[in-house]
């Protein structure tokens, strides 16, 4: 299916200062923008009719429920109505496949075109690329969108075949991710709505295809390095009634959480696939943050001198992220980091870093606080 952002949205909703409005409008969910701002987003489909039979999906063909279809004009007007009432600030538009991916892609493009050119909508648009969409369609859609996505659903063709026998991993999905990156590389974005190319995301369903974390993170590493994905969504599987997987157990959400942590390490922290440790089943340890796991095995016996460590080394220390690395670099130009209060000034918790750093050649002393103190 074309729903994504589920994992992050839950967190966003929890953090949203106005989550009461989400509860009042069940069609609207919250999405975190780059830069940290959270906006209410209408997630909708051009049609819930679908000719494909993906085993995990509530919209699969043959499943008995009431289906609905919008024309592009109806979709644009419905969204703008919610926008004017201040209910939805952005639109995430997807679709079931009825009459082929090319036909449905045209309808998504038409909706985007109406919103941007006729109705002058200037807000956030996340538009789905349909399986099998043509190169020129994708290029056209990318002129209007802030973000585009195409869901691989699985890390490789074999696993996809277990989940979605009518989808072709290479020809319909992976090739379209490649095209997005090629368009971004080879064409001038100036004529576009925002004079830049949209970001790109994908989604994988976690659990029912028999995949392990080795396969998922190998694929994620490749996608991040080669296609510069802004994000990979890991949708932990929940069974849907009246589908072939209705009796398949739900996946543990903690597995999705560990995969997100690992993929951020790949995207923002300079980690490579080879840096992760897996058990004999090819799974990450659910009990450990993968960055802490790496630090326990690599830094505990040979801590880094925080006053000399490179940017790449600092990013390996638990409790230190890209923003803190910049702050440390600025601070070190003025003076040395040599006390807990220096760390505090930088917003770094001594408890997180004490086992992995030296300050001026010395191990920081971290005194445990006891309950009776
Ligand atoms: S293509 Fe597959 S995942 Fe997408 S709506 Fe149809 S059945 Fe669902």
With left for phi above 0 and alpha for psi between -120 and 50, is residue 279 left, alpha or beta?
beta
Mutate to test the pocket of ligand 1, among 6, 52, 56, 131 (most ligand atoms within 8 A of CB): 52
> Is residue 169 over pLDDT 90?
yes
Which residues are bridge partners to 44 per DSSP?
93
Instruction: Say how many C-beta atoms besides its own lie within 10 A of residue 251's C-beta.
Output: 18
* CA dist., res. 205 & res. 273, Å (int): 20
33 neighbors 51 (Cβ within 8 angstroms): no
Mutate to test the pocket of ligand 1, among 45, 57, 62, 128 (most ligand atoms within 8 A of CB): 57
**Dihedral (C-alpha) 316, 10, 248, 251: value to the nearest 10 degrees?**
20
CA–centroid distance, residue 116 to ligand 1 (Å):
27
Confidence of residue 24 (pLDDT cuts 50, 70, 90): low
Pocket of ligand 1 (CB under 6 A): 1-2, 50, 52, 54, 57, 59-60, 96-97, 164
- The minimum-distance atom of ligand 1 relative to the CA of 51 is 6
pLDDT at position 292 is 96
- The minimum-distance atom of ligand 1 relative to the CA of 96 is 5
Which residues are bridge partners to 357 per DSSP?
304
pLDDT at position 26 is 73
> Ligand 1: which residue has its CA nearest to atom 8?
1
Show Cβ contacts of residue 202 under 8 Å, excluding neighbours closer than 6 positions: 149, 150, 151, 152, 177, 223, 229, 232, 233
> Is residue 5 over pLDDT 60?
no
CA–centroid distance, residue 59 to ligand 1 (Å):
6
Provide the CB-side half-sphere exposure for 170 (13 A, CA): 2
Mutate to test the pocket of ligand 1, among 4, 50, 167, 205 (most ligand atoms within 8 A of CB): 50
- Give me the residue label for tokens 């000399």: 308
pLDDT at position 366 is 62
pLDDT at position 316 is 98
> Ligand 1: which residue has its CA nearest to atom 3?
1
> Is residue 111 over pLDDT 90?
yes
Q: May I ask the CATH architecture of the domain 6-199?
A: Alpha-Beta Barrel (3.20)
**Which class for 64: exposed (0-12), middle (13-18), buried (19 or more C-beta within 10 A)?**
exposed
CA–centroid distance, residue 188 to ligand 1 (Å):
33
Task: State both tokens at 285.
Answer: 């340890």
* CA dist., res. 241 & res. 221, Å (int): 34
- The minimum-distance atom of ligand 1 relative to the CA of 131 is 1
Show Cβ contacts of residue 287 under 8 Å, excluding neighbours closer than 6 positions: none
CA–centroid distance, residue 71 to ligand 1 (Å):
19
Q: Domain coordinates of the chain in residue numbers?
A: 6-199, 299-358
CA–centroid distance, residue 142 to ligand 1 (Å):
22
* Residues 28-48, mean pLDDT to the nearest whole number: 89
- The minimum-distance atom of ligand 1 relative to the CA of 58 is 8
The pLDDT tens digits for 348-358 are 999 999 999 99
CA–centroid distance, residue 119 to ligand 1 (Å):
30
pLDDT at position 141 is 98
Mutate to test the pocket of ligand 1, among 59, 68, 209, 243 (most ligand atoms within 8 A of CB): 59
Report if pTM > 0.85.
yes
> Is residue 7 over pLDDT 70?
no
């Amino acid at each position: 299916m074309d729903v994504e952002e589920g994992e992050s949205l839950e967190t966003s909703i929890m953090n949203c200062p106005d989550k009461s409005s989400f509860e009042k409008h069940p069609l609207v969910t919250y999405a975190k923008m780059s830069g940290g701002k959270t906006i209410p987003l209408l997630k909708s489909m051009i049609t819930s009719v679908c000719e494909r039979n993906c085993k995990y999906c509530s919209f699969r063909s043959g499943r008995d429920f009431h289906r609905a279809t919008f024309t592009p004009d109806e979709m644009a007007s419905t969204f703008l109505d919610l926008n004017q009432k201040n209910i939805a600030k952005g639109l995430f538009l997807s679709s079931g496949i009825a009459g082929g991916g090319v036909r449905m892609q045209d309808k998504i493009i038409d909706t985007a075109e109406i919103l941007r050119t006729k109705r002058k909508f200037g807000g956030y648009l996340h538009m789905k690329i349909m399986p099998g969409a043509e190169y020129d369609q994708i290029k056209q859609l990318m002129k209007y969108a802030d973000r585009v996505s195409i869901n691989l659903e699985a890390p490789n063709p074999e696993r996809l075949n277990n989940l979605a026998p009518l989808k072709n991993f290479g020809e319909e999905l992976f090739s379209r991710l490649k095209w997005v990156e090629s368009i971004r590389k080879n064409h001038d974005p100036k004529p576009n709505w925002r004079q830049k190319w949209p970001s790109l995301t994908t989604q994988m369903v976690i659990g029912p295809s028999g995949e392990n974390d080795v396969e998922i993170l190998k694929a994620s590493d490749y996608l991040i390095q080669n296609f510069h994905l802004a994000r990979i969504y890991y949708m932990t599987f929940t069974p849907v009634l009246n589908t072939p997987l209705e009796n398949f157990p739900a996946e543990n959400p903690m597995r999705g959480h560990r995969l997100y942590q690992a993929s951020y390490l790949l995207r923002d922290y300079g980690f490579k696939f080879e840096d992760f440790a897996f058990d004999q089943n090819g799974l990450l340890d659910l009990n450990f943050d993968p960055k802490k796991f790496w630090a326990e095995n690599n830094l505990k016996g040979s801590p880094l001198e925080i006053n000399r460590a490179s940017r790449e080394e600092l990013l390996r220390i638990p409790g230190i992220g890209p923003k803190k690395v910049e702050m440390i670099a600025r601070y070190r130009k003025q003076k040395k980091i040599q006390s807990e209060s220096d760390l505090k000034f930088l917003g770094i918790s001594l408890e997180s870093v004490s086992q992995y750093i030296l300050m001026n050649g010395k191990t920081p002393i971290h005194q445990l606080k006891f309950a009776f103190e």
